[in-house]
Each structure stands twice: as structure tokens, then as C-alpha cells.
A and B are shown apart, each in its own frame.
Chain A
């Protein structure tokens, strides 16, 4: 978009690979890297050559023909966007002949374009309008009685944007954005010549087409042909604030474009280092929840969860919270209370919550939702490499030759990174997918996995060990690398372990269900195909052997020398916007910020000095332990910021029982979430649009969150926590989140150089950012592993206790879908429901037929933990014997089904493997009905009686 601030240089930058090329444009000398277009060279020196089809995020195309220039010694009028500079070239961008040609072309454009600029939604933000002015068009001599597209029907099917073919100039920017940036290839130009028009899929409407609504086309459109409905409704924005998306762990940065205090649209920021100007349907469009009518804006309390809520003042709510926690601690002991930090909140807010618990509650009973997602990543990578985080930045994938994706579905879960990965795959990198489902990556337009190892859920360790078996026994390991960087004795132990015959692909095939031949080929490809990079998600961690799987992945990477440079590495695709940050900030019961154990006297002394109180040296309770302790009567109060454990944690009935057993549950959230049904205090939270702070994404990148509007609830979340702390007598006095970050930096060695002024200056920093690496660390372990020598860990496959049998013959695995985010609290309150209004159960046609099920039918899904009903989707994406569903909708409550088995090391729940049975049904289960009734009762609110003034 040509709107304020974003300068469009017309064509992509070229890397500097040799001496600069000197040329003359309009008599002015300019030096640019070889391969740069004349258009970009001119733009860099401040000369804007008229253009319409060119934009610097796409490959040059050369179709609009208004960027023509004259070059001395060259015939004709070459397009400046497609003509690279040559040494000594003499270019003229303004001559009478060029003016006439440009005007002639513009006259043609306007002869098929409505002249309704004054009432057009892009008025003032339209490149066609700008360029018509720039070329000085004064007359359209062709008139309007000829052929035209002025009456073409508008497509308003997409909930967020419209396509108006009458405004379309067929520059193909949308098509190219869909191809090059997003990689969905949903758009094309249909028809030829004058009939050329933009078509989604097979000339369908946008909503029913393959379009994933990432917004790249809308962003690329130079006119109002593709435009946000919000802009049509509100008008063009007048200012912009750069901030970071609050959905997934990719951490896209956006320009929040505002009209006064009203958000008009979120446009991905071109200079954002995580997203490089791209976005997905969630970050780009699904922010409407911020103003949703169900958002709670007043604090509420109640004595019992059977009573309706009572709206109270902030003062009363805060005082009540503080006194309840003090009362409970004096009655039941210091360790009878705890809290849960939020991976959705900022680093600063998370830091304050764990500080409240450690300093104010005087115990270590703090945990976070990373418990249920990537806690095994922290454990596994710390054990093997020495850091609890991924090794690369996202740019690294551009240097990968072989990409191994295991237990991750990035096109749904991390779509913006998936687009970059797909771009690399289209350039020729090879892909290995290890997943029980045939995810989109396995085969989609211009992408096909070289090997898809469709394993039985729960057998990751066996598959990875079999790959290691191939690498070791076939001599494909990188001995020099291992000898230099790893402990050779440990390697030899591990090599002997994996080499045992019963760990071969052939021997383990019975357990894993993976074709041994295919597995061998995949292992060889990863070991010998050049830069090998592993990307993984919750399909790795959420198992009883989650930590073992992470270490098995680390073993593979070390054995093949694939850690410590660009293009390789071990990369967890982290789920939530700030789950990395929440872990970094000391949200785990055993660790201070920067992953230092609470029993470490040196670290503890540092915090005790700073906070002026003695700190508990015993690790506190994890979430499941808190719930267990609550049902046992030993744990009585919980402060939960921005997390819905009732919906997101496994075995819902058990979570409900634990919460019900507590005397004071405080929920700080935007909405009355499911957990709030069991809460006694509700503190309204603020959205990411309403506060300052930082998020840390999956590549350890710390990025600013900037306040774009005042909090509707009155306070940012950090202010609310501070009020609670003050009420408990802690004497905090932060006036801005930057002061909290200064404290974090002072107390956390890996954050030593992270300050707001540095973030302003550099845009973002990847930790560790220390005196040694003041600008941060894009790639970890460059010269050796952080822990010293890389450590090989023997990972024996142990089958999960969750087993199929006659009663529960199928394996359920769970996951996410593109349009929704986790428990759906936000996305369900946006128009994203247009794509996915309910959770569906994916079931293979064989299994469906055996049970007499057909597509769209209500089915009952039962495990030994519980039962729910939902509709069936009969599909070959899942293998026979495996069923799959998402957990976005509370009416389905997929976690009623999941069990309380968990990772042996970290208690990360085994969401990905549950033995189930599926049978026809004609309505909601008893649980669903009683839960629905309870939720309805629990959500009653008595309005506050305003005292007369």
C-alpha cells in the first residue's frame, strides 16, 4: 500500500555480492548493487518512476507499461522494473516521448475504470489515482460506450475483504502475492486479452475458493479492487503504530493503522524480521474480539461459584483478592496458594505475576501453559544443547536443503512461517514429513514431501531412533563434527544403543507402522542432503515421551552435524505469541528467569537482593500437581492470568474438580472463559492493542508491543498485577513496562542488553543479547554448544500406557486449524467462524464405514476419561485407526476425552494419543448438557448499582 510511511521502491533489493554498479539517472550519478532494477535505483535516489504493477515485495512483472524509460544507446522504451542496471548506463526517466506514452497507457486504464474517486473507499490511498495524477492524464478520448467491466459483480463473500472487478486493473499483483508470498496459488488470471479477470480457484467466490484469507492480495492491490471491509466502513486510516501480533509464536509485526483511537486495519510490517511483510487470517483480520460485546470490562466477585457475579469497583476487587490470598495462606499455609502466568501476556506482565508469587506469596507455586505445550522442549534442548529454545531464526530456512517436519502442521498452526518454508521448498529444498496425518505440506500446489512417514501416534521415539540406526549403521554420521563439538564417549554409547538390531527400521515397523524402506531413504536424505533443518511442534512434545522425542531430535541433528550454522538446527514451532517469553521469564516452578534453578544459591541471592525478601529454595507445584493438591484439600487459591485451563488442559472433569475444591480462584481475562465458571474473582484483562510491552517469539526474538488505544477495561494487565501486589504490601512502583524490562535485564544474564531503547533502535533482539552479543544471537551454538559439549542422550522407546483395545480401538490425536487459535476465545468471537464454525472429527472412510457413519453425521467420541459429541468429517487425511479433532470450541470440549497421562520429565499432557471409540449419536452427551447448564448458571451477572452522585 502506498499509504503513509511505507516506501515502495518498486522491486526487490539485491544482495551486495561485488562492487556496486555506477550509472546515471536524469543526470545524477547513483551506485547500486548489481542486479538492481533501474526503477529501484531511481527510487533510492528519490526519483519515483510511475508504476502500477511493480511493488518491492514481489518479483518484477513488467505488465503495466507506465514505468518505461529511455536508455542511451538502446532502442525502444524498456520497462524500468524489469531492466537491471549496467555499468555506465545513462537513463532518462522524463522525456516528452515518455510522457506521451505513459499518458497513452493511463488513458487506456481509465477507459475501463469507474470515475467515482470521490466516493471510492480507496480515495486518497489508491495508486491508480496517484499515478493518473503523476502522468498528467487530462482526457479519456475513448469514452465509455465501448467494452468495459464497470458492471462486473462485486464478491463480498469473504468476511474481511471485498473483491470488486470493476476496480481491478489486472496488474496481477494479487495473483503474484498469492503465488510468491503466501504460496497457496489460489488466484489466477482467467480469460485472455480484454476478458482477463482475476479468479479465485475455478472462478469461485473467495470464501468457497482455496483462498486462506491471509490478506497478501489485499495488501498488494493498488486500487480498491481488493480492500478491507473495515476500510469501506470506517474510511482510510490516518496514523499507524508498529506492534506485534498476539496469536501464534511466529510473532508477526504489524502496522496497526488507526483512525483516531479506532483500529481500521492491521497490515503486516514490511520490515518485520519474523514475518517479512506477511500475515495470516488471524493476525491480519481476526482482531475484532477486542471490541466484542461479550468482553468483560468491570471487575466482579462472588462468594461462591453458585452465585451470580457481582460487579464491583477496582478498589474492592483488588482489596478482596489480596485479603483472600492472605487469609488462605494464614489458614492453610504459605504453599496453599499459587498462580499461573499467561503465554498470551507480555514478558513484563508474566515477570510480574511470577514475582508476585515468589516475592508476595513467598513460594514457587507458579506455572504456565507451556506446561501443556513445550515444557519438553525446554527440558530436552537444555539437556542436550544447554539452552531451552530453538537454535535458528526464521530466515535460516532460506538456506536449508532438507527440511524435516515432525509433529507440526505449520500451514495451519504457523502459517506465516509455513509460507516461507514453502517458498524454500518451491526453490527445490527437499521435504520429509513425519506425521500420522496427511497434512497440507505433504502435498499441495508445487509442494510435495519426498517422504511422508505416516506413523502410529505415540511412536515418535521409535521412528527417530530407527532413523538414527540408519545414520549410524550406514556410516552417514559426521564424525569430525561430533568429535569436535560433542562428547565422543556419550556418542559412542548412544551409537551402540541405536545400532542394536531391534531398533532398525525393519524391526520397529511393527510398532510404528512406517514402511522401513521409506524410513531408510528419509534418514539418508536428512543425513546427506546438505543443510538439514528440523522443525517440530506439539506432535513431538505432547506425549508421554515428549522430552525423549525432543532429545532424539537433538541427537539426530548432532550426529549429522546439523547444528550451529544457518540453514540447519532444531526448531520448535512454539504455539503462543509469548510462550517462549513466559518460559524465559521464570514461569516454571523450578526456575527463575533465564532458566536458573531456584535451588541455585547464587541465582536466588541475586533475586533476594533485588526484591528484599528471602525466597523459597524448593521448586513449587506444577499445574497438574496444584489440581491434585486442591482435590486433596491442600491447595486453596489460584491466581490465573490469561489462561483457560478448563478448556485447554487434559481431562476436563479432573480440572473442574480441582478448581471446585478451591476457596479463591482469580481469573484475569478478556472474557468469562470456561475456567471463570469456577472463579470467585474476575479481573477484566486488556488486549495486546491496549498496552506496551514485549513478546518473544519462537526464534527468541524480543519484539515491542505498542499501545494503540486506551484499555477499555481501564488498566493494562501489568497495572492490575501491580495493584494486587501493592494491596499485598509489596511496594511496587513501576510507571512503564520499560522499567520492568530494565529489572528483567538486570536479573537475567541472557537479557542483559535488552532495553526498550535498544529495541527501538534495532527493531527487535534475539536473546541472548549480552555484552558479548549486544545485537542478539540469530543462530545459536555457532562455535560450540552453550552447555560445552553437545550431549547425546539414550532415548529408549517406551510405549504409552494409553493403549487401544476392544472398547477403545481408535487413536485420537488433536490439533489446530488455520482459522482458529487454541481455545478459540478470540477467534470464535470474530468472523473467522465463517471457515470453521465447529470442531469436526476426522475419520478414515474405512473406519467410518465399519461404524455406519457418514460425512456430517453426529458422532459420539468416547474414551475412558469422558464422552462428547461432534460431527464427523470422513477423510483420507487420517490413516485407518486414527481419528483427529481440534479443540477450539467449548461446546465440543475435546479435552473431556483426553487423559491425564503425561510426559515423564515435565508432565506435559499426552494430548496426542487417546484410545477412543466412535459411534453414531443423535445429540450432545450428558456431560455437554450438564456443562452447558452449569456454564449458563455460572455466567450470570448482577449489574452494579451505581451510587447516586
Chain B
């Protein structure tokens, strides 16, 4: 009987994968649901297994295409996916199995090198495992880029009868989906990484904090936890589902949420590694950090570290989104340039218009113009350029984008998602929206038309009575960004200035100011 592989990933299903699967089943095929391959321009995608075990891909396809697929006459025949440049160029360490195996098949996972890392780790004393992670150069893939091995060392060194492994799967950045793809497409990989972490630091229980918007991932994880229980033992894992707050992706707010409290950021210190979940030493890592661990232990840290650029070692699952032709997941060693990612891999905009800006690192990341496309994908290089890699989501915009509106969106996003604990974020984000509204209003209507409401309060004797110019308003906005950047308690308020300042710096013409301000960041 013919074996057909179709993704069960939420994005694939949204594009119609279930209907294709149904049609193929009706046609007598054995359908195997896999994770997503990661290139959504070719979804819904079907792969038909040949007699020699190879897979021939077709995509995108429709349910009525089934006969053409089965007699190999479909015009969208791709053939061997690995030969497509999008895949051929990748270095899939973390996502090696994703799109190939049945996510919940223990046999598949084992057959594709699963559990090798855990076995290797358990043959080593905890310190040796931590040393291996240190040697790999792995840094936190959630965005902060803190060396994972050093974090683990802190937890290993903390004397406590109880420790925890917490996986941050509250993937809330716009344009990011790598965590979800991995949890849906290769959940055992994450569990294996957590069990290795548990062994390394002396923790016996783990939590995966998943956002409620990921029902497929939650289902997959729960099923995987049940099936892998005996192998993970004595380590145990449970899934906790978030309640829709973006800020709960911030590690300390996430811990509060798991503890059943209001999702509010904690001040650090104490570091979660010393006093984390329920006051106990806690490893809190992103999905991608933990999912990189099995490879490192199975293949050796040198194998992982030999890929990369400068102090950024190993691979990064880059997510291309927004107005881009080849949207999807692209895992590659650090060092590739932004331009290669957007133009060569991503194929430019979906609309066919020129790229004007890309935002890297989610809604709190900086906007870059094409003039900066030679920037190497590297934590330090991006920081030096006034930006951040974050969770490696890249959102592409064409030349119709209004960058003042995008700056306003950044402030609005912060205002909506702020937990309200610290003042710069709680009040500053709202004042940021208001200030940008004045700037945008002036640009549209002309400054003279604006209502003179600023000094409506009689007590405001010391406020400027005269209407402020746009440049003065921009000065207020820059001051606010400085207050938020250096004064906020966590990265939500602290990073909101990145998109705002980068928009101001690189696209001053959208703000209606007298002239472009100097490019240098403060």
C-alpha cells in the first residue's frame, strides 16, 4: 500500500493538510502525519514514499489533486525536498527530525537517533554534562543569549533538596513559530533535552509552560509525556497552559504564573537559578535551547560548536515571516547575513515590491533598512547595530510600510501587554502612544491644526504653553525611550524602545521631522 506523509502542524492544517490527508486515505493510502518541513509556500505538502524508501514531494496541492499525485503527474511535483535550495542550505541540528518522523511515534524517534543524547548524558556525572553544554557554546535561544551551560552550573551548584526544570514555551513574538513547530513536530526532542537538564542539575521534575493559543502543541506534548514516561523516569514533566499574557513569556512572570499567581515580573536578583520556581533553584530555558541539548550530548559539543560565528556558536532556527516569499523555518549556523536570509533564502517580498524594512526579534526587535543587510546573524553584531536577534523571528515589510505607525504599534503593544508592575513600562508605554499620536497627527494634519489641549489643566503652569514642534515631540519620545530602556524592570519595557528608536533613526522621513537625525544610536 502506498505510504503518504502529510504534516499535522497547525500551519499546515490551516492551509488544508487535513483535507488532503482525508482524500489520500479515501484513495487507499496509508497516511502518516509528520511535523512540518518548514517551508509554507509549498504547503499543503504531500510526500509519497517510493519503493526504495525515498520520498517524492508535491506541493502545494488540493484534495482533488490526489489522482495526479498518485500517478505522479502533478505539475507541482518537487521531487526530493532535500535538493530544494531552501532545505539544501540548512544545517538542521535541532530540527533534524521535524517533518520526517511521526511526532508521537516512539519507534520513529528512536530510529532517528532519539534518546541517544539522554543515554550519553546519563552515562556521565552531572558536572560532565554541564561541561559539555558549556563546551558547545549554546546560548539561550529565547532571546537573551545567556550561556546555557553557565546557567546550569549555577543551578547544579545551588544546594537544595528540590530543583526544577522549566521550559519556556510561551512563544508570543509576532512572526515566530519555531517553538510551536518543534513541540508539534518533534516533542520527544524537547522532553529528552529536559530530562538531560534534570540529570545535569539534579532536578527531578519539569514544567513546560505553553501558551493557550497552541492547542496542537499542548495535545502533542501531553501525549508524548505519557508515552515517554518510562524512558524519562525518574524525571517527570507536566504541561502548564498560559492564560494569554505575553509578559508571561518573561521568565520570572512565567514562574509566578506557574505558581498560580498574577503574571507579574519579579525583580532580579535573586536569579531564578538560585531562587526560582516555588523558591527553589530552577533552570528556565527556551524550547529551542532545550531541544538543542540532545544533539550536543549525542554528537558531542565540538560538533555543535564547530558551526557558528564569533561568540555565537551552533545553529539558529531562523523564522522568516511577514511580507516574504519563502516564509518558514530555516535552521542555519550563525554568521549568515541578514540580506542572505531575506533576499536569497526568503526570496524578497511576497508582494513583489522592494523590501523597505525588516524587524528582527519579534515586536521588541529593531527595524533594519536594506542598507544594513550585510549584518551578520550574531548576538554581538546585532547588539552593536542597535538591535537584537531575540528568538530569531524576521518580519519583512515592503515599501508601503509607515514606520511611524510601526513605532506607535511598538508602544501600543507594550501598553497592551505590560504587566503594570514597573512605572516606565506601565505609564511610559501609554505616554509613548500618545506622543506618537501627536507626531503622526501633526504629520497628517499639520501642526497648526492640532487642538491646543496640552495645557488644559490650570495647574500646569510650568508646562510649555506654546505648542511643541514635531522635533520637540521627537525629543520627548527619545527621552521616554531612554527612561524605558534603562529604567524598566524587564525586557518588555526595556526593549520596546528598540523598534521605536530604530524607526526614528533609520526612517526619520516617516515622522515628519525637519530632517533626518544622525544615524548613530545613543
Contacts and interface: CB of A to CB of B under 8 A. Distances in A.
Most B CB atoms within 10 A — which of A65, A116, A146?
A: A65
A293 interface: no
B264 to A, nearest CB: 8
Interface in B426-453: 426-431, 434-435, 453
Interface residues of A, number: 48
A196 B426 contact: yes
A160 interface: no
A116 B431 CA distance: 21
Nearest to B435: A142
A193 B487 contact: no
B68 interface: no
Interface string A170-202: 101000000000000000110111111000000
Contact of B482 (A60, A101, A109, A115): A101
A67 to B, nearest CB: 11
A142 B476 contact: yes
Interface in A93-147: 97, 100-101, 104-105, 107-109, 111-112, 115-116, 138-147
Contact of B422 (A62, A76, A138, A188): A62
Contacts of A84: 269
A904 interface: no
Contacts of A66: 423
A612 to B, nearest CB: 66
Contacts of B480: 104
B423 A64 contact: yes
Given A104-B483, A146-B430, A196 B420 contact: yes
A744 B476 CA distance: 71
A192 B463 contact: no
A192 B424 contact: no
A104 B430 contact: no
Nearest to A52: B423
A83 interface: yes
Contacts of B421: 63, 172, 196
A193 B422 contact: no
Contacts of B476: 141-142
A771 to B, nearest CB: 46
Nearest to A110: B427
B488 A82 contact: no
Contact of A68 (B264, B269, B455, B487): B487
A546 B202 CA distance: 53
Given A105-B483, A188-B262, A79 B267 contact: yes
Binding site secondary structure of chain A = loop
A68 B267 CA distance: 13
A793 B476 CA distance: 80
Interface in B473-489: 476, 479-480, 482-483, 486-489
Contact of B434 (A81, A116, A142, A193): A142
A81 B422 CA distance: 14
Nearest to B455: A143
Interface extent on B, as a size class?
35 or more
Contacts of B468: 141
A189 B421 CA distance: 9
A937 B75 CA distance: 109
A3 interface: no
Interface stretch (B59-67, B91-99, B371-379, B410-418): B410-418
A77 interface: yes
A82 B268 contact: yes
A66 B453 CA distance: 29
A61 interface: yes
Nearest to A108: B427
A60 B479 CA distance: 27
A140 B468 CA distance: 13
A108 B424 contact: yes
A734 to B, nearest CB: 56
B504 interface: no
B88 interface: no
Interface string B120-148: 00000000000000000000000000000
B456 A145 contact: yes
A105 B453 contact: no
Nearest to A150: B457
Contacts of A115: 457, 459-460
A674 to B, nearest CB: 50
Contacts of A112: 427
Interface string B212-251: 0000000000000000000000000000000001010000
A179 B247 CA distance: 23
A185 B457 CA distance: 37
Binding site secondary structure of chain B = loop
Given A139-B462, A143-B453, A82 B419 contact: no
Interface string B389-431: 0000000000000000000000000011111111111111111
B27 interface: no
A340 B390 CA distance: 78
A77 B269 CA distance: 13
Given A194-B420, A194-B426, A194-B427, A143 B415 contact: no
Contact of B428 (A62, A108, A145, A196): A108
Most A CB atoms within 10 A — which of B267, B453, B476?
A: B267
Given A63-B422, A115-B459, A143 B454 contact: yes
A448 to B, nearest CB: 15
A141 B464 contact: yes
Given A101-B482, A144-B456, A147-B434, A65 B488 contact: yes
B422 to A, nearest CB: 5
B400 to A, nearest CB: 29
B460 A100 contact: no
A193 B489 CA distance: 13
Most B CB atoms within 10 A — which of A97, A139, A145, A189?
A: A145
Given A82-B269, A105-B487, A63 B423 contact: yes
A193 B463 CA distance: 26
B498 to A, nearest CB: 15
Interface in A28-68: 60-66, 68
Nearest to B268: A82
A81 B267 CA distance: 10
A108 B489 contact: no
A104 B487 contact: yes
Contact of B416 (A100, A140, A170, A193): A193
A76 B424 CA distance: 15
Nearest to B451: A145
B261 to A, nearest CB: 10
A65 B487 contact: yes
A614 to B, nearest CB: 67
A191 B428 CA distance: 17
Contacts of A192: 245, 247, 417-420
A145 B453 CA distance: 6
Contact of B431 (A82, A108, A170): A108
Contacts of A111: 427, 431
A358 B479 CA distance: 80
Most A CB atoms within 10 A — which of B424, B476, B487?
A: B487
Contact of B460 (A64, A79, A109, A143): A143
Most A CB atoms within 10 A — which of B422, B479, B488?
A: B422
20 contacts: A62-B267, A62-B422, A62-B489, A63-B423, A65-B487, A68-B487, A84-B269, A97-B486, A104-B487, A109-B427, A139-B463, A141-B468, A142-B431, A143-B453, A144-B460, A145-B453, A192-B419, A192-B420, A193-B419, A196-B421
Given A64-B422, A143-B460, A194-B429, 19 more contacts: A77-B486, A82-B268, A101-B483, A104-B480, A105-B483, A108-B423, A109-B423, A139-B462, A141-B464, A141-B476, A143-B453, A143-B454, A170-B420, A189-B264, A192-B417, A193-B415, A194-B418, A194-B427, A194-B430
Interface of B: 245, 247, 262, 264, 267-269, 415-431, 434-435, 453-457, 459-460, 462-464, 468, 476, 479-480, 482-483, 486-489
Give me the 4 closest cross-chain CB pairs, A-B, nearest first.
A62-B267, A196-B420, A104-B483, A193-B418
